[in-house]
Structure 1
Amino acid sequence: MANQVDYKKFCWEIDYFSFLRSKLCYSDPVVIGGFKWRLIAFSKKGTDSLSLYLEAVDLKALPSGLRRFVEYSITIVNQTCEELSVRRERRIWFDKNTPNWGWPDMISLFNLTAPNSGFLVNGGGVMVIAEVEALEVIDTLNPSQVAEISEDRAHDYSSSSDELQNKDDVAIEVNGFQVLHSQVTQVKAIFEKHPDLTSNFSLKNQQIKNAYMYALLDLIKTLCKAPKELTVEDLNKADNMLSDLIKAGFNLDWLRQKLDQGLDKQIAYDTRIRELEKQVKKRKLALTELEGDLEKEKAAASVATIFSD
């Protein structure tokens, strides 16, 4: 039985390990706008991506001419940093022939399961949020409805879709890697400065390639932080990531040198801080002892004055 949802948002926690054992995973259906909706999750054989789709369950049993125009979004929640959550949105028609729409590459399994990624929680759960706005229902077999929707809504739908289209929702290829629009300039600059970056990189799977590039960009972002913002633990994690990238075939001697220098400086910095903290502690202890001696001398001097009188 479907749950009635007053608000147009519902959550689904996917058991990731059950997901790996199943061909398809379905959320419990919910009723929004008089229709039953559910989410579908799967990963195609031979791919490295989690696919997520929204399905209008009722449309399968309805006449072929019925269509429903829907604005919806699907978000994979990052539990440690909301800004890192993965969100996609779309406005599109659902009908009997196409009762579900979504994204075959919502997120790579590499990014989803990476240590400390923030996506897997509660022993392997993935939190997904869907927001559904059922905007329009028409019968395409009724010419008057089709004419009305075409005249009154066509411009609104197209312009709204343009406004909703996020440039970072579109993958742009740079040297065989698909990156976000906001990352294109940086990736091009890296290849221009280091043309042999991927000369030993032989992986063919596009999703895995993209995941490694994202990891490289995250690593560079970490190393560009001010020294005071980094800890030895941060740099050790960066060192592990760099080792993984090098094993995958990236030529990163230039980044290895930068990381080693940063790690040496940070270790020296932390060592100096600990040494100064020890000195401060010793001097505070010595000062406390000195203050104690001073009070004793004052007391002794007072007693001596009394007896001399």
Structure 2
Amino acid sequence: MKTLCLTTESSVGRMEEEEEEDLVSGTFTWRIDNFSTLNKQTHYSDVFVVGGYKWRILIFPKGNNVDYLSVYLDFAEASTLPSGSTRYAKFRLTLVNQVDSKKSITKDTEHEFVANEKDWGFTSFILLSELCDHDKGYLVNDFCVVEVEVSVRNGIKILEDQETGELIDFRGLGRVEKTFVPFLEEVCSSYPSLLECHKKRSRTFIQCAFTALGRLLCFLKTTKAKDMTRDACKRLQLLWEELETFKFDLVWLEPHVQSVLVMKRRAGRVDRLREDVEILENEIKRRRDVLAAAEVDLEAAKRDLAKAEEEFKIDMDTELGYPLP
């Protein structure tokens, strides 16, 4: 077991994490100070990690359109989820009674977190009037304590109904997308350790692991260097991070993936420099055109000056005088 302590100006958090076969559980405790001064609609805890994933507690101090304290678990990495992926979590939220722990309020639920549904929990956790009643023991010296116990799968669950192709069995390990199988066969024949390292894992875990590996291999095999746009690089990075969570021995693959990402970054720098040169060349041309036009105007002004001087020749020593009748 490992313990991580987190402290901020307005909150104190403590996390404990335990790992079992294909399951990681962790408990995070959040002390919310100066509760009565929280004026924003939402308030987040520090980020904590369970199973390699980042989570937060989210509260609505004044209630989420209700007269209750609203408490949720927030998946802090939802925006980075690859298409078709979810994060499953079974969790228990507790509002600690600081006077009598037996009166602490605990609520359990579970949820599949996706990119557009990143938090889940309880809109009506406790009446605000009860929370703010100092005799109840939930809010003491203007701070309260919220605790969450989270259990997550040690891996990524792929939604089968979001797969793009037919699922078939791969070497008796699980069902993966048919288009991935040739790539998986090729690398597993060359690197048998890929098959050995997960023998003691559950079938669900193995299926998810080889699906993630197949997805990355398929991307590398079907994507050309010229197609590595910024979005493609971002997707490759996400696929790699997804695969890393399954703890394969990837020393043979990592240098290649990183070289692709570095290659694109260098190509991007060349493109940006090329754009800079083109912009400067256009600016020089524009300024030359302006200079040429100015030179034409200057010559015209000189001619006008010469003509005016010719027409206005007088003896500068002559008196101006004045007219007489």
Structure with higher Rg: it is 2
Normalised by the shorter chain, which TM-score bucket?
0.3 to 0.5
Structure with higher helix content: 1
Scaled by the length of structure 1, the TM-score of the pair is 0.43
Taking structure 2 as the reference length, what is the TM-score of the superposition?
0.41
